[in-house]
Amino acid sequence: MRAIIRYKNHQDTTKMQIALIVNPRSGRGKADKAASLLNAELAKRGHKVSTLEMGTDHSTLQSQIADADRVVVLGGDGTVHHLLEILADTQTPMYHFGTGTANLICKAFGMAQSPEQVAAHLEAEIDPIRVDLPTCNGRPFLIMVSLGIDASVIHRFEEARSRKGGYRAYIQPVLREVISPRPARFMIETNTHPPAQPPAQHAGILVIANLRSYGGGFNPCPDANPTDGQLDAVVIPCTSSIGAGISYGFLKARRTSSKMKRFVSDSFRITSKHTPAFVQVDGEKASRVPGLVDGRLEPGNRLEIVMSKRHILIHAPKYQEPEERQARSDNVSSVKWSRGVAIPVVQVRHGREEKEDIQSEDIQSIA
């Protein structure tokens, strides 16, 4: 069921205080232009608008957002990520006007990208969605955390600091990853005492998602629901870029490999094994996550990924809640974790119902 919460006061939506938070670096100037157009459109409709740039001191940002009826974030997913603490503290309903590359938050919640449509959405008299706010070593995130080859590409991208915009900027980092892949080797545990099963060791890519959006149409966790109090995880086994490419090809076609392992839980503990694991959070290098070394999880160190009790409010008139969780493919090996307890998921194969437990074992590469 959709998680909603009532506004404290159902204000007159024809006259609101709206805060615009702008990342001037986003979209090579696109955010600044969009903010100017949106400001004019909202003023024309009788709303009072305040505009602040990212980089404004924390107390001023928090004060302006707290005083607003709505806050519009103009930037990419990373811009929203850096505002999560303030959004959780102020509980001001947020709208994402995506001007970045992927804009996964904007797309996941059905948000518009034209000033006229955004203004109309902001005036919609709807209840905000109460969205879960998980943490990675104590730092909040909204979309996902991942380890392995995809995270390594993001590290290479940020370190290259290309002047190109959009997905073109990823061409060189992807090529470098193809030539010299950096998969993660890790162990997954859940927070039960005693453990529901021995920890499993894996090699490849790990994605732990709060939203089903991922980028590029891959969506490795299509059942992720940001209002169900749970996190969806998938292990994509691979030790080479070719293996990763094959797996992502399956995901692009909305299919899956039997070697992919899926989990659902409210907490995960990830330990890096043998080599450093590159980590990304909400599409950015995880350089600000405590316990990591320049965004890397060093061998023997841990990531604690936990569904916290905090939340943010999203103003999303066009949001469509994900369907009920189910095994979507006839070759999915999956297990559901409920509060840390492993529950085999019923699968349908050639008209028969089967149950399959995931055993603790090293997963072999599909490449």
- What average pLDDT does the segment 215-232 reach? 86
Of 28, 29, 41, the closest CA to residue 72 belongs to 41
Is the pTM higher than 0.85? The answer reads: no
Query: Looking at 100, 127, 154, which one is the last position of a domain?
Result: 127
Is there a single domain that holds both residue 159 and residue 287?
yes
Is there a single domain that holds both residue 119 and residue 191?
no
Helices 30-44 and 115-122 meet at what angle, rounded to 10? Answer: 50
CA 35 vs. chain centroid, Å, equals: 24
Is there a single domain that holds both residue 197 and residue 273?
yes
Answer whether residue 338 is part of any domain: yes
Answer whether residue 319 is part of any domain: no
Answer whether residue 250 is part of any domain: yes
**What confidence tier does 313 reach under pLDDT thresholds 50, 70, 90?**
very high
The whole-number pLDDT of residue 170 equals: 72
Is there a single domain that holds both residue 193 and residue 116?
no
CATH of the domain at 113: 3.40.50.10330
Is there a single domain that holds both residue 112 and residue 149?
no
For 95-104, 155-164, 179-188, which range has the lowest pLDDT when averaged over its residues? 155-164
Query: Looking at 107, 127, 147, which one is the last position of a domain?
Result: 127
Answer whether residue 12 is part of any domain: no
Tokens of 30: 């696109």
Is there a single domain that holds both residue 262 and residue 299?
yes
User: What would the pLDDT profile of 316-336 be if each residue is shown by its tens digit?
Assistant: 999 988 776 554 433 333 444
Residue of 86 and 258 predicted with greater confidence: 86
Q: Is 246 exposed, middle or buried (0-12, 13-18, 19+ CB in 10 A)?
A: middle
Is there a single domain that holds both residue 114 and residue 164?
no
Is there a single domain that holds both residue 64 and residue 149?
no
Is there a single domain that holds both residue 270 and residue 230?
yes
The whole-number pLDDT of residue 130 equals: 97
Answer whether residue 365 is part of any domain: no
User: What would the pLDDT profile of 139-181 be if each residue is shown by its tens digit?
Assistant: 999 999 999 998 999 999 888 765 555 666 777 877 888 888 8
Is there a single domain that holds both residue 146 and residue 23?
no
**What confidence tier does 346 reach under pLDDT thresholds 50, 70, 90?**
very low
Residue % of the chain over a pLDDT of 90? 56
Domain encompassing residue 21: 17-127
User: What would the pLDDT profile of 105-145 be if each residue is shown by its tens digit?
Assistant: 999 999 999 999 999 999 999 999 999 999 999 999 999 99
Is there a single domain that holds both residue 166 and residue 119?
no
- What average pLDDT does the segment 293-308 reach? 96
Cα distances (Å, whole numbers) of residue 162 to 156, 157, 165, 170: 10, 7, 8, 9
Tokens of 274: 């043998």
Answer whether residue 367 is part of any domain: no
The whole-number pLDDT of residue 176 equals: 86
User: What would the pLDDT profile of 196-218 be if each residue is shown by its tens digit?
Assistant: 555 667 888 999 999 998 876 67
Answer whether residue 1 is part of any domain: no
Is there a single domain that holds both residue 79 and residue 193?
no
- On the question of pLDDT at 366 being above 70, the answer is no
CA dihedral (110, 317, 142, 201) positive or negative? negative
CATH of the domain at 152: 2.60.200.40
CA dihedral (85, 86, 89, 95) positive or negative? negative
The whole-number pLDDT of residue 29 equals: 84
The whole-number pLDDT of residue 191 equals: 62
Answer whether residue 363 is part of any domain: no
- On the question of pLDDT at 266 being above 50, the answer is yes
Please give the tally of structural domains in the chain: 2
The whole-number pLDDT of residue 306 equals: 97
